[in-house]
Amino acid sequence: MVSTVRPADHRVPPARRGPAGRQRGPGAGRQREGLAAYVFLSPWLLGLMLITAVPMLLSLYLSFTNYDVLTPLSEVEWVGGANYRRMFTADPSYWHSVQVTVTFALIAVPLKLAAALGVALLLNRVFRGVGLFRGLFYLPSLLGGSVALAIVWVSMFNRDGAFNSLLAVFGVEGAPWVNDPRWALETLMLLAIWQFGAPMVIFLAGLKQVPVELYEAASVDGAGAWRQFVNVTLPMLSPVIFFNLVLETINGFQGFTSAFVLSNGTGGPVDSTLMYTLNLYIKGFVELDMGYASAMAWVFLLTIGLITVGLFSTGRIWVHYSDAGEQ
């Protein structure tokens, strides 16, 4: 996806083209450029070290300790793999939060992408107002991650919220969705799906890249709308589907705000919305068990890494890259 350093195609030694009197060897110019580059890069390098690398190593170390914030760092106790052992064998809440998170991602991500693709297909025409539609469908993606919207969503699916009022009109008696362990996570999934606008916009851009000739050829061969969708649109769009899938899966695993708001930070009702990140927050910042939380963070990181690698390796099978799609 990313082409890194392209060799500069204009390597004209400054000594030859430069104004007279300022001649110097090509090595000096490059050295100077290298130095300048590191000056420009210095904030980023500092951030990489202080904000990313050092904390990562620190948390790796802490994951083998019983650090709890209150005792000074110099007095922490090395506990070996105890945190990891506890996580995998002795902490039911851990596996429960894994299950909640995986369920959430497995259901919400495909449905969100399906909604995004469906609406993108409907919008992939030139007509008046198409820009307005696109914008309005995108709006929930801008607002949906906020606390404010999570609050609205939770109220909407309360026992006496708008959704049940609506059901009552049709004579259906609703459940207290957000307070019912069987339904609480589903309402959060719905909130995630509601934000289908961002992947939709990316799908739309992908659809615009599909050459019209392919549809014409398929049409000449007698392919109907469905056959065209399956045999032209889907393969041509597969790189974009893949991109959205990776992005949304990684996002899906990190859902925090809505679960926090629904459960007031507890993961309830009955741990039904205990997303992994919420569990990590509770362990680290409520119970102050930071050694354990660090271990959880590292397992999370490795899992996300493995899932990404996994997605990329399955991508080799079903993602179709053509020259036309890469323009």
Partner 1 sequence: MPHPTAPPPPLKRLKARPLLRLLVLIAILALVLYPLAWMVGTSVKSPQEIADNIGLLPREFTPSNFADGWRKFDVNFGRFFLNSAMVALLTVVGNAVSCLLAAYAFARLRFRLRGVWFAVMIGTLLLPGHVLIVPQYILFRSLGWVGGDWPYLPLLVPQFLATEAFFVFLMVQFMRGIPRELDQAAKIDGASTFAIFRYVILPLSRPALVTTAIFSFIWTWNDFFRQLVFLSDLEDYTVPVALTLFIDSTSESAVGPMFAMSLLSLVPVFLFFVAFQRMLVEGINTSGLKG
* Residue list 87-116, contact with partner 1 (CB under 8 A): none
To 5 degrees, how large is the angle CA 47–CA 50–CA 53? 95
Distance CA 32, CA 292 (A): 47
Distance CA 116, CA 202 (A): 9
- Residue (103 or 141) nearer to partner 1, CB: 141
Tell the smallest beta-carbon distance from residue 223 to partner 1 (Å).
Answer: 16
Tell the smallest beta-carbon distance from residue 227 to partner 1 (Å).
Answer: 17
Among 82, 107, 152, 207, binds partner 1 (CB under 8 A): 152
Contact indicator for 101, 321 with CB cutoff of 8 Å: no
Is residue 173 at the binding interface for partner 1, with CB under 8 A as the rule? no
Q: Which residues contact 146 (CB under 8 A, 6 or more apart)?
A: 257
DSSP label at residue 285 = I
**Residues of this chain, 13-32, that bind partner 1 according to CB under 8 A:** 14, 17-19, 22, 30, 32
Give pairs for 102-106: CB < 8 Å, separation 24+: 103/185, 104/185, 104/188, 104/189, 104/192, 104/252, 104/255, 104/275, 105/249, 105/252, 105/253
Tell the smallest beta-carbon distance from residue 75 to partner 1 (Å).
Answer: 13
Is residue 319 at the binding interface for partner 1, with CB under 8 A as the rule? no
From the list 77-85, 100-108, 176-184, 248-256, the region that binds partner 1 by CB under 8 A is 248-256
Is residue 133 at the binding interface for partner 1, with CB under 8 A as the rule? yes
Distance CA 264, CA 295 (A): 24
Among 15, 23, 26, 58, binds partner 1 (CB under 8 A): 58
Among 15, 28, 41, 306, binds partner 1 (CB under 8 A): 41
**Residues of this chain, 268-297, that bind partner 1 according to CB under 8 A:** 277, 280-281, 284-285, 290, 293-294, 297
Tracing tokens 């130095």 back to the chain, one arrives at 35
From the list 110, 137, 141, the residue with the least C-alpha distance to 204 is 137
- Residue (231 or 256) nearer to partner 1, CB: 256
Distance CA 96, CA 87 (A): 11
**Residues of this chain, 207-236, that bind partner 1 according to CB under 8 A:** none
Among 82, 207, 214, 250, binds partner 1 (CB under 8 A): 250
Give pairs for 77-86: CB < 8 Å, separation 24+: 79/291, 83/291, 83/292, 83/294, 83/295, 84/295, 84/299, 86/292
Tell the smallest beta-carbon distance from residue 17 to partner 1 (Å).
Answer: 6
Distance CA 63, CA 297 (A): 9
Among 134, 175, 231, 322, binds partner 1 (CB under 8 A): 134
Tracing tokens 């205990």 back to the chain, one arrives at 274
Q: How many chain residues bind partner 1 (CB under 8 A)?
A: 106
Is residue 122 at the binding interface for partner 1, with CB under 8 A as the rule? yes
Tell the smallest beta-carbon distance from residue 29 to partner 1 (Å).
Answer: 9
Among 174, 206, 252, 267, binds partner 1 (CB under 8 A): 206
**Residues of this chain, 175-204, that bind partner 1 according to CB under 8 A:** 194, 198, 201-202
Q: Which residues pair with 65 in a beta bridge?
A: 78
Is residue 254 at the binding interface for partner 1, with CB under 8 A as the rule? yes
Token pair of 311 as six digits: 């997605």
Is residue 324 at the binding interface for partner 1, with CB under 8 A as the rule? no
**Residues of this chain, 298-317, that bind partner 1 according to CB under 8 A:** 298, 300-301, 304-305, 308
Using CA atoms of 135, 139, 140, 142 in order, give the dihedral in degrees to the nearest 10: 130
Total residues belonging to the chain:
327
Is residue 257 at the binding interface for partner 1, with CB under 8 A as the rule? yes
